[in-house]
Structure formats: C-alpha cells, structure tokens
Amino acid sequence: MKFWMFLPWLLTAPVVAADLAAPAIIPLPQKMEWQAGEFRLRSDTKIFANGGGRPTAGQLAEYLRGPTKYPLPVFSERMAGKAPGNYIILTLKKGARELGREGYELTVTTNVVSIQAAAPAGLFYGVQTLRQLLPPEIYATTALPNQAWIVPTVHIIDWPRFPWRGMMLDVSRHFFTKTEVEQLIEVAAADKINVFHWHLVDDNGWRVEINKYPKLTQIGAWRHGVEFGLATHSTTAYGPDGRYGGFYTQADIREVVAYAQARHVTIVPEIEMPGHSAAALAAYPELSCTGQPQSTDLGAGVHAGVYCAGKEETFEFLQNVLTEIFALFPSPYIHIGGDEVPKGNWQHCEHCQARMLAEGLKNEEELQSYFIKRMETFVNAHHKQLIGWSEILQGGLAKNATVMDWIGGGREAASQGHDVVMTPTSNCYFDYYQGRDHTAEPRAIGGYLPLEKVYAFEPIPAGLAPAMTAHILGAQGNVWTEYIPNLKQVEYMLFPRLTALAEITWSAKSSHNFSDFTRRLEVDNQRLDAGGVNFRRYVPDGRIPIGAWEPAVIKDKPSPWDIDLPTAVVKAGRARVNLEYTDGACGIDITGVALLADGQVISQDTHAGFTGANPRDPVYTLEVPAPKPGVHYTLRAQVAGSGGTDSAGTVYWEESPASQKP
C-alpha cells in the first residue's frame, strides 16, 4: 500500500541551483528563475483564493498579519480580475497535477504573487516559500511597524524528492505538553517536514489515554522522579502529587492531529510491542511472563518490559488498545516498535514455550516474528499499514510491513519489495552530540552527529537496485529524550539538523551544496530568532588532528605519551585538546595533558579523564603563550589503559570555542 504517489519523471527533472546572492530558501527549490524587480506587501494588499484554496489563504493571512498588522482580507478568486494591482492569489489548478500533491508553482511579479498547485498541500508549501522570500522578521510574533516587506520577483517550480520527510519525538522518557508538541510541528512544517512520528509509549511512561484500560495513564504515565540523573528543576512535568510524567487525553490527541493536518503533517503514532513495555506492565502485570509488577523508574539503556507472547490476553489487550488508536489517528501508518526485545523471559516462560511448540517455531526470534505478523494481520484488517524498527526483520518480515531502518536492513527490505524509511543512527539521531567538546554542549546520550554529517546523508542505500529505489519512502530525524527534559533543549537538538534533513529529503540530490546551505542557514537563523525558537548556531569543526594512538602506545600504568606539534597549530590564546576514542574493547584513563616548549612545561591541565565508549571529561584546556621562532613544541599526555590496552583513537587540537549550551 502506498501512502503517497507522484510521477517518476519528477525525480530526474533539471535543477537550477540558487545564486549566491539569492534569498535564502530552505529547502532549495527544484527550479528557480530570478528576475529584476520586487513586490511590496502593503496595508492595502489583498489575498484571493478559489474554494479549495481558502483555508491556506487564511493561514497565509494569519502568518502575515502578526508582524505587519496589515488587514490582508481574503476574497474569492472570482473577484481578482476586478482588483487593482498588488495582491496575492492562491489557486488549486488541475493543470498543476504533474507536480504531485505537494508540488507548487510560485510566480512573483511587481504587482502580483501567484501560487498554483494541484492540492492544498502544494499551496501550503508555496506559502512557506513565500514567507522565506520576505525579510526574516516576518516570523516575528510581535508587530514591526517600520519594516519594509519586500519580495524579490521570481518564478519557482518545486516538488519534493521523497514523500516521507519526518521528525520523531520521544515523549515517554520526558513528557511534553500538547502546546509544546504543536509548537514543534509548526516549525518543522515551515521546513516542509510532513511526518510527525509520535513515540507515545515506552518503558518510562505511557502517554495516551485508553478508555478501556484507565490504569495505563493512572499508573503507567507516572514515575517517582525525573530519572536519568537529571536535576529535578530541569523540567516542569510534575503532577499534583509530585510524581513525574503526564499524558494526553483523547481530546488532546484529536486537537494535535487537527493542528498537524492543517499544516499537512501526518502524525504516525507508535505503540511499542513486544518490548519497551514496562509502563504498560506496571499497570497490567498479568500481561508479562512472570505476572510480577514492573516499574517505570528505569534508567537509560534499561529495556525491562516485554509482553508475554504466549498469553492470548496479551493480544486481546493490544488489539483493544490499537482499536482506540485507530479512531484517534487518521494516519494510514501505525508504528508498533519491535526493537530491542530482550527474549530471556520468553525462554523461561511456559506460555511462550507452549506457543512456540504449537506454532512450530524454532527459536525466540521466530516467536517475535509470529508476534509482529499476528499484529500486522489485525492492523491490515483495519485498513492500516504496520511500520516497525529494523528488528521486525528478525525471524522473517511480516508480509506487508514497512521498515524504519535505524541499524541496518533497509536495503534488504527494499530489495524484497517492502517500503522503507531511512533513519540510521549515523546520520539521523538528533539526541547525539553536535560538538566534540562535551563540556560546551548540553548533556547528550553519546555519539557525535555534526551538521555536516546530516547534510551528507543519502537516503538511497548503496547497492540498491535502481528498480527498487521507489521503496525508499524517505528519511526521518529522531529525538530520543533520555537527557532532553524541556522544550528549549529539544529545539536546540533539532535545529538546524532537522533543517538540513529537510533539504536532503526535499531538494534534488544534484543541488546539494553544504557551503551554500550554510550561507542560507545564516538567514534561517534570523527567522528562528524572530520566532523565538531555540537553535544551535553552526560552527565549523575547526579541530586539527595532531596524533593517533594504537594499542602499542598504551601501557598498563600511567605513562607519558608525547606528540610533536606542527608549528602552525600553536597560536597565542586558549586551546582545547580532545582525546577521542575510536576503537577497542577498553578505553584509557588520562591524568593530565601538558604543552612543552623545548622540553619544558609551559601550560597544563591535570584533571582526571577517561576516553572510551562512554567518555568522561576527555577534553583538556591549555593556555598557550605567543609562539617563539625556532622553539620545538610537544604535547604530553599521561595515559594508562583502563581494563586493557587494546584501544585506539585520535587526538585533536582546536582553538577554544564558546559554549553553546541552551
């Protein structure tokens, strides 16, 4: 089953890249032709639209009225011919059908702005591009009476490269209010993101009201504290009794769905199964293998909750839950998780083992496949499409399932004719650090995903046969919130990385140019500032690799390790030295780093650090005096193997950046 359909010739249409002096449109349109002249938005500007375009015309008027305070009345398109110049017209036109449901044509002349599309989504995206053609202050939430609202004359024909351009928010680890979720959808939709994957259920909290099972939110939506080692004041999601958490009523869900639909964003709910289910089992422990109550007070990396795959009550419960979910979410997709399922309980459960015997299953991987396939049959019977993480491939992929590839299997699934959404940890996990200096960043789960790496992502897997590339629906950026307890930090982790992914999934591959993207990003930052959105300013990675270690370098006991420094890196000021682990079962303990001039220590930092799979303060700050000609500079690190000497890594030198913590 296909959610979106568009014509294949659009994938290979010619692209005209943006001129360096052109306005900063993100994502970059497929075709643009700049012309001399400008359109001025004025207090007497009118907006016209035909019947199907009236809602989008109303949105445009609302977007523009706030900062301009112009009345901007909306009239029927039939009246446009009687109007003098200076107006905006939105038209749904059958002749624009070749652009697909999300494509649009935008023409700006000195007196008229025209947006044409085959469907309301296309008009909406044309409106987003028009907003970007205006000064960044158009995104302000207060009036700016002295601002000139000028639009350059241009002709744009545009459509998306991929139909799935997604963002995922985990609200189980930390709860975000209905209003906060809507704020994120608004900003993402302005970047032409069209899927919001709502991770509503996990071990740490159940966030959606289910009428048939009230204890899911009475018990499963709460825990005793904020958890994950975070400060209690880092979040405000506390109930009257002091417990941490929260949930969305079914009325809340309907409001968010309607809000997203108005912005042409499809909400894909995720109800985790068979693992990541401690919150549900805290409320209904009889659905576990042991029948023992479970806790939502779990730290990072703990995946305790697993439904019993042998009890019929489990499937009855999940089918009843999904029946209410189907009624709340019009999305054709229902995400069932399926990842990181610990199967130890199943191995010792008489019900699960009896199920395996009755169904002729060889192992617990096949039992997981049975579980997913059985749920898929139910989902499909309700005219919905099942989607799950990479692990639903284990034991055999369900017949009609769509795979969300985070750890591999996307190419395999697409080759078998299954649709795939690409979201690998290497390029799409926005809970990873954005800078290598962890002391200058908010605490994150680990990893390193700079803006450059997001922008370099190619969603079509290497080696996938051309005939099967249509099964790659697109890509998605994920925000897991173990260490992200408030909205401002979510925004900081999302932007501008989500903006980069928006361009990768919308614009033609041949037009991708990181240098030009960062030029346009400077203007986009002004838009976010005007709208009160928190973000991380892009800072190029100015680190210089000055040395690398192999196991042979590391000793069991603390020993000095010297690195000759190139003269060019030694500059007066403050420098940071980062020992970055890259490989090995063990790491290294560091007791200090020093800068030597002709063998004499001239600066040092002697704090204890560790670099390994979970680094701890491996960055050292040195005060560097003005270099002298003819002097030999050396970096000396005091290091020792931690649990062994098999690690490897690289040492980086950089001028000290300013902190960007939100």
Task: Say yes or no to pLDDT of 8 above 50.
Answer: no
Which DSSP helix (H) or strand (E) runs through 414? helix 410-415
Judge whether 340 counts as a catalytic residue.
yes
**197 included as an active-site residue:** no
Q: Which of 14-18, 117-121, 201-205, 244-248 has the lowest mean pLDDT?
A: 14-18
pLDDT in tens, 9-65: 233 333 444 343 467 999 999 999 999 999 999 999 999 999 899 999 999 999 999
From CA 150, how far away is CA 167, in angstroms rounded?
A: 32
Give helix then strand counts, H and E, for the chain.
16, 28
Q: Could you say which of 3.20.20.70, 3.20.20.80, 2.30.30.40, 3.40.190.10 is the CATH number of the domain covering 164-506?
A: 3.20.20.80
Could you tell me which CATH number the domain at 8-158 has? 3.30.379.10
Q: Is the pLDDT of residue 206 over 70?
A: yes
**Predicted local confidence at residue 446, as pLDDT:** 87
Residue 540 has what pLDDT? Answer: 81
pLDDT digits (tens, 9 = 90+) for 176-192: 999 999 999 999 999 99
Q: Which amino acid is at 602?
A: I
Asked if the domains at 8-158 and 164-506 fall in one CATH topology, the answer is no
Pairing of strands 333-337, 266-273: parallel
User: Which class in CATH covers the domain with range 544-655?
Assistant: mainly beta
Q: Provide the pLDDT confidence category of residue 660 given band limits of 50, 70 and 90.
A: low
pTM (two decimals):
0.84
Give me the catalytic one of 174, 197, 264, 276.
276
Q: Which of 486, 494, 491, 481 is nearest to 202 (CA)?
A: 481
Q: How far is CA 134 from CA 67, 258, 413, 524, 559, in A?
A: 12, 28, 43, 12, 60
Helix (H, G, I), strand (E, B) or coil at 566: coil
Mean pLDDT score, 208-235: 96
* 288 or 96, higher pLDDT: 288
Task: Label residue 661 by pLDDT band (50, 70, 90).
Answer: low
pLDDT of residue 80: 75
Query: Which tens digit of pLDDT belongs to each residue from 323-373?
Result: 999 999 999 999 999 999 989 999 999 999 999 999 999 999 999 999 999
* pLDDT in the model for residue 7: 31
- What pLDDT was estimated at residue 386? 97
* Strands 648-655 and 587-597, bridge-based pairing: unpaired
Peptide bond into 27 cis (omega under 30): yes
18-22, 169-173, 175-179, 417-421: which range is least confident on average?
Answer: 18-22
Give the active site residue among 340, 516, 541, 605. 340
Paired residues of 202 in beta bridges: 205
Look at residue 297 and tell me whether its pLDDT is greater than 50: yes
Q: Which long-range contacts (CB under 8 A, 24 or more apart) does 488-491 make?
A: 488/534, 488/662, 489/442, 489/534, 489/662, 490/169, 490/176, 490/180, 490/184, 491/184, 491/187, 491/533, 491/534, 491/535, 491/662
pLDDT, position 4: 37
Confidence band of 646 (pLDDT split at 50, 70, 90): confident
Task: Taking residues 94-122, report their average pLDDT.
Answer: 92
Q: For this structure, is 202 an active site residue?
A: yes
Long-range contacts formed by 609-617: CB under 8 A, 24+ apart: 609/579, 610/642, 611/579, 611/580, 611/581, 611/587, 611/647, 611/649, 612/581, 612/584, 612/586, 612/587, 612/588, 612/642, 612/647, 613/581, 613/587, 614/446, 615/438, 615/580, 615/581, 615/587, 617/438, 617/439
Sequence ranges of the domains in the chain: 8-158, 164-506, 544-655
The pLDDT score that the predictor gives to residue 300 is 55
pLDDT bucket at 546, cuts 50 / 70 / 90: very high
SS3 label, residue 649: strand
Q: Which of 434, 44, 402 is nearest to 197 (CA)?
A: 402
- Burial class of residue 152, CB neighbours in 10 A (0-12, 13-18, 19+): middle
Specify which residues 433 forms β-bridges with: 448
Share of the chain above pLDDT 90, in %: 81
Helical (H) or strand (E) element with 216: helix 215-218
Of the candidates 202, 339, 364, 503, the residue annotated as catalytic is: 202
